[in-house]
Amino acid sequence: MSLFKGKDLAGWTTKQLHNHDWSVVDGVIDCNPQGEVKGDRELWTTKEYADFELWVDWRIKESPFVNNKARIILPDGSYQKDDSGNVITVAAPNTDSGVFLRGQHKSQVNIWCWPVGSGEVWGYRTDPAFDAKVHAGVTPKVKADKPIGEWNTFHITLKGDRLTVTLNDNLVIDDAQLPGIPRQGPLALQLHPERKDGEWGASLVQFRNIRIRQLGAGE
């Protein structure tokens, strides 16, 4: 089932009455962050979903700013450190977005420009309440992002608390556990506002070809 038909934002909503961050431009959902307005500025589906397969085309339009605090994430989900034990930071394009699963920021499949690549689930990878297996599971196995400006495709499968993500036909997250994830909830496209420096970048992104297939209990 298509969640976006290329004409308008029917089936989607924001939690701010006069939100101008999201629009349809040339048949795609366009995110153009409007200032530093506080609060939830994500674009949410009006329906909730439990188990599903989701396909999302996305691209980073541009990344005019540089993040000098990006980190190198190791396969176990930890950060690479130097010989003195300090976290190594590197420069990376400063654009950031993602797809929220079942109504919460914590279970976000990341879109960003860090060396590890997109598909990472920050909220689970960095939560000390979870064990090493969870942290490693939500860390991308390979960087599969295309260059800035080109279209990418997520294929996201969520069954129970198990998440699998392919990016451009490359398996990046393989049956990772998301302990405590709600049984169902809406999807959302993430917005970071107009931040010109610091750790998180503005969501200068676009989306298209968003499709979902709900999975029954017997599948």
Q: What is the mean pLDDT of each run of 10 residues along the chain (219 residues)?
A: 95 88 96 82 97 98 87 97 96 93 97 96 97 98 97 98 98 98 98 68 92 80
The pTM is what? 0.94
pLDDT value for 202: 83
Comparing CA positions, the residue from 140, 113, 136, 114 lying closest to residue 125 is 136
Comparing CA positions, the residue from 21, 50, 31 lying closest to residue 187 is 50
β-bridge partners, 31:
22
Separation CA 156–CA 208 (nearest Å): 15
The one-letter amino acid at 93: P
Q: Give me the count of residues in the chain.
A: 219
pLDDT value for 200: 62
Separation CA 180–CA 145 (nearest Å): 29
pLDDT value for 216: 82
pLDDT value for 196: 60
Separation CA 121–CA 98 (nearest Å): 9
Indicate the SS3 state at residue 124.
helix
Residue 96: how many other CB atoms lie within 10 Å: 26
Separation CA 93–CA 160 (nearest Å): 34
Indicate the SS3 state at residue 135.
helix
Q: Say if residues 153 and 47 touch (Cβ distance below 8 Å).
A: no
Q: Say if residues 139 and 116 touch (Cβ distance below 8 Å).
A: yes
Pairing of strands 205-214, 28-31: antiparallel
| Tokens (6 digits) for 122 | 């920050």
pLDDT value for 198: 55
Separation CA 108–CA 102 (nearest Å): 9
Position of tokens 């060396």?
115
3-class secondary structure per residue, 5-28: CCCCCCCEECCCCCCCCEEEECCE
pLDDT value for 197: 58
